Each structure stands twice: as C-alpha cells, then as structure tokens.
C-alpha cells in the first residue's frame, strides 16, 4: 500500500496569505507532491515566484503532460483546470466550474479518483463553495479532508461549505496546517475498503469530462437528472448531479455549478434585469413628461395616466431592488 503522498490545496479570496504561510512551513524533504489551485482566472500569474522566496520546495506552474516530482509544488496556471493522473499533470481548457478556471473541484476529483487514500485535500479562505464537492470526493475515496478554520478567514464561506459537506473534516488555523500536513503524511492511509465506489464512479465521470473538455450527453445522463434550470454560461439545460453533496448542476457543454454559486448568479442576473427594467420605466416617464408639454387635452389625459401607472411600477421595482 502506498503512503500518503499527494496534497491538493485550494483557496480564493483571502487565501493568499494562508497559502504563503502553509507552503513556507513545508520541509525540503517533504515526501509528497503538492498541487495548488487559486482562483486567478485569466490574469498573468507570478505565484511561483512570489511563494518561492519563503519555501524550501521548488515551485512551478504545472504543464500539460508533465511527470511530477516528489518534494515539489505545482500551481495551476491561468485559465486552465489542473488535473493529475498516472504521475503526470494535465491542463484542460474545458468549461468553467463555479465560473472559475482553474477551479478546485476538478483537481480534487482527479486526485480522489486516481490516488484515493494517498490524498490530503485542503480548503483555505474563499467565497462561495468551490472545493466542497471535490473535498467530499477526496474523503469518500479514503483521503483526508483538512479545512482552514473559518473563524480566522477573510472569506469564510468556502471553508465553511467544505466543512458542511465533509462532516469529519479536520479544522485548523492556517499557522498549523503546514506542520499538520507533515504529521498526516507520516500516518498510514486508510484501507481501500473505505472507498465509496458510487461516489468514486461519479467523480471519475466528472474527471473525464474535465479532462476531455466536453460533456457526452449519455455520460451526463448516467450521473445527473435533467432539471428545469438553464446554464447561466451557455443557456443549455442544467442537470442535477446525483449521489453526493453539495447540491450541484451540470450542463451538456460541461459547465458546472454548485447550488450556492448558481443562486449567487441568479441573484446577480435578477438584479441586472431589474435595473434594466427600472431604467426603461424611468425613460418612458421622462419621455411622457416631455410630450405632455405640447400635448392636446385628450392626449394629455392619456399621458398623465401613463405617468401615474409607470410611477407606480417604478416604486415596485425600486422596492424589489432594496430587498
């Protein structure tokens, strides 16, 4: 049986400082490989250079098809999902998950499916819940789940949602996580019998989708049930992923969303739509008032009624925007 030797880490808002502290605490002879996803989007990344100054391990951006070394740290480059399989790193330009690429869930799932009980998954400070489903997969496949204490996080929702998804996750302050990794690596991993094969199967299918970059409709139907929701990225039908938390959805082109991320998107789009409606109403009121200045008596009565009706609608929309 292999020792624990794979560490996957994810962070977002407020995660830079804890990650820097964590990596600096790792010894030069760490008998594991560390993989990191930060929500950097398409921005140019100099994270390896920033972290290298305080870290004893070599740090570099992952490359597609590159064999990875022990006692090394690999960071997901901009605009690419990072996955691991057969001792190599792979980069995917597949659909975004939770509006992010790179995202935590693809990395965590690929680690869970391919390395099982050898994995330690870590979620740091961040907004919403990317990483929660991936951390659940890590734990279901026999790995260890470790989460930064939400009480000290600049953005607590990402670690808190990870804890809600993985009830037996270990919780620690950022200052202790680096040393805790060394302690956990020294312990023998759980027996392979602890793997939940159903969860592993779903995670395996989703890993294949992320690796390939596109979703096969038949594969999606095997793990998800069509819903009446639409994908905010492409407008396709969303299907509810079955069998493990948190509640998540996928579309046929590969986009994936947790319920929390989808809700946040719906709120944002609803607000944008309401502001657009409000602007249209106010412009109609403004035009009606301008026309009223030169209108005939009969037309004036019609315009005045329109202004009153539109003003009532304006009040209703403004009340909705305040909620």
Residues 35-85: tens digit of each pLDDT = 999 998 888 899 999 999 999 999 999 999 999 999 999 999 999 999 999
Q: What percent of the chain has pLDDT over 90?
A: 77
Q: How many CA atoms lie within 13 A of 51 on its CB side?
A: 28
In the prediction, which pLDDT does 191 show?
57
Over 90: is that where the pLDDT of 217 sits? no
Q: Which of 102, 115, 173 is nearest to 144 (CA)?
A: 115
- Catalytic residue, from 105, 129, 130, 204: name it: 130
Cα separation, 71 vs 88, in Å, equals 14
Please report which confidence band the pLDDT of residue 252 belongs to, taking 50, 70 and 90 as the band edges: confident
The answer to whether 79 is a known catalytic residue is no
User: Is 12 a known active-site residue?
Assistant: yes
Q: What's residue 1's pLDDT? A: 60
> What is the residue-averaged pLDDT of the chain?
93
Residue that wins the pLDDT comparison between 28 and 42: 28
pTM of the complete model: 0.86
Selected catalytic residue, list 39, 61, 81, 255? 39
| Cα(2)–Cα(11) distance, integer angstroms | 27
Could you confirm whether 100 is annotated as catalytic?
A: no
Query: In 10 A of CB 207, how many CB atoms?
Result: 25
């Amino acid at each position: 049986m292999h020792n624990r030797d794979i560490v996957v880490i994810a962070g977002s808002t407020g995660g830079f400082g804890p990650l820097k502290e964590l990596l600096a605490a790792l010894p030069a002879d760490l008998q594991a490989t560390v993989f990191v996803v930060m929500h950097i989007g398409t921005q140019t990344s100099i994270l390896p250079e920033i972290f290298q100054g305080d870290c004893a391990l070599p740090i570099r951006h992952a490359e597609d098809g590159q064999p990875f070394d022990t006692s090394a740290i690999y960071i997901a480059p901009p605009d690419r999902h990072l996955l691991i399989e057969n001792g190599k790193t792979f980069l995917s330009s597949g659909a975004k998950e939770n509006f992010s690429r790179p995202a935590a869930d693809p990395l965590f799932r690929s680690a869970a499916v391919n390395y099982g009980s050898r994995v330690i998954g870590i979620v740091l400070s961040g907004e919403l819940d990317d990483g929660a489903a991936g951390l659940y997969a890590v734990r279901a496949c026999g790995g260890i789940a470790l989460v930064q204490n939400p009480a000290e996080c600049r953005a607590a929702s990402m670690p808190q949602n990870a804890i809600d998804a993985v009830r037996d996750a270990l919780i620690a302050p950022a200052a202790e996580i680096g040393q805790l990794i060394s302690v956990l690596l020294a312990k023998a991993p759980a027996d392979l019998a602890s793997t939940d094969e159903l969860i592993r199967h779903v995670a395996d299918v989703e890993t294949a989708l992320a690796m390939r970059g596109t979703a096969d409709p038949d594969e999606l139907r095997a793990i998800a049930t069509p819903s009446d929701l639409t994908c905010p990225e492409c407008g396709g039908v969303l299907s509810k992923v079955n069998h493990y938390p948190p509640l998540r959805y996928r579309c046929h082109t590969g986009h994936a969303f947790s319920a929390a991320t989808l809700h946040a998107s719906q709120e944002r789009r609803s607000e944008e739509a309401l502001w657009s409606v409000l602007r249209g109403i106010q412009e109609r009121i403004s035009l009606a008032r301008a026309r009223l200045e030169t209108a005939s008596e009969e037309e004036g009565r019609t315009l005045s009624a329109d202004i009153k009706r539109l003003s009532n609608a304006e009040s209703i929309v403004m009340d909705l925007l305040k909620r």
